[in-house]
Structure 1
Amino acid sequence: MNTCPGPHQQLVYNYEQAAAQISISERTLRQMIVNGELRSIGYGEGRRRRGVTHEALVAWVGAREIAEQ
């Protein structure tokens, strides 16, 4: 897990870490990002890396649990 620089200091997972957090494959995670189901952000020096915030993962899990009910 990394910290996104700037005033918000968000916790950010790289794609591999994010996929592991919600027990899916990295390929599935990338497809979810392409489909707009999950938002990615730039982070790291020059924001050259892409990742998923902890907040976005929590929101996705919550929405999934609601949909299952």
Structure 2
Amino acid sequence: MGQIRDFDQMIPGESVQHLISENTTLKHRVQQLAREHRKLQERLEGARSNLRFSDKRIAALEAKLLGRDQT
């Protein structure tokens, strides 16, 4: 408890309760950003997978067209 009292004297004008409240708010924000980051990572992974599939499909169609042109 002495540390809190010393800390309160080091930061004039701001109460320890205010700092605790702000810290809690920031922790919640970090959790929210972590959730959003995971969600975006999953979307990016899905988009990359779709792109790989599309690239393979396009390559197959191009090969088919080239085969048709040669006959």
Given the two structures, how large is their TM-score scaled by the length of structure 1?
A: 0.29
Higher helix proportion: 2
Given the two structures, how large is their TM-score scaled by the length of structure 2?
A: 0.29
Higher relative contact order (CA 8 A, sep 6+): 1
Higher strand proportion: 1
Rg larger in structure: 2
